[in-house]
Amino acid sequence: MALKIKWNDDRVRGATTAILLLGRERLARGETTDLIARALAEYRADPVTYKLNKAQWPDAKEPGPLQNPAHLATYRNLQDAIDRLYPKMQQARRQFNSLLELDNWLIATLKHVR
């Protein structure tokens, strides 16, 4: 039986939240290269540590530790792009066959965000 991840699955929301939270932490450290791919790789590699850190971090809508105006703008643009994804996914009834396919789609869709 094939794995089906539908547009409204919690795993989609979890991945996008991880992109925001881990991306924010990477931006705070000045790491801007391959932001989406690296955040998803970190999330998938160690979900337990991510969940522990998530409990301590500010909400994904907050800028948290971001001080650099360019990094803050990138983070706000990323938030907006992710917010625009959900209606598009719902309208298209987007489905994924694996977490890897979901991650690759998110990377391809969000890689333009600066």
Q: What is the pLDDT along the chain (114 residues), one digit of tens a residue?
A: 467 999 899 999 999 999 999 999 999 999 999 999 999 999 999 999 999 999 999 999 999 889 999 999 999 999 999 999 999 999 999 999 999 999 999 999 999 998
The token duo for 29 is 């450290």
Q: What angle do CA 74, 78, 84 make, to 5 degrees?
A: 145
**Under a CB-based contact definition with an 8 Å cutoff, are residues 103 and 44 in contact?**
yes
Indicate yes or no: pTM above 0.85: yes
Tokens of 39: 């955040």
For the chain, the distance separating the N- and C-terminal CA atoms, rounded to the nearest angstrom, is: 39
pLDDT in tens, 29-54: 999 999 999 999 999 999 999 999 99
- Domain range holding 40? 5-110
Total domains in the fold of the chain: 1
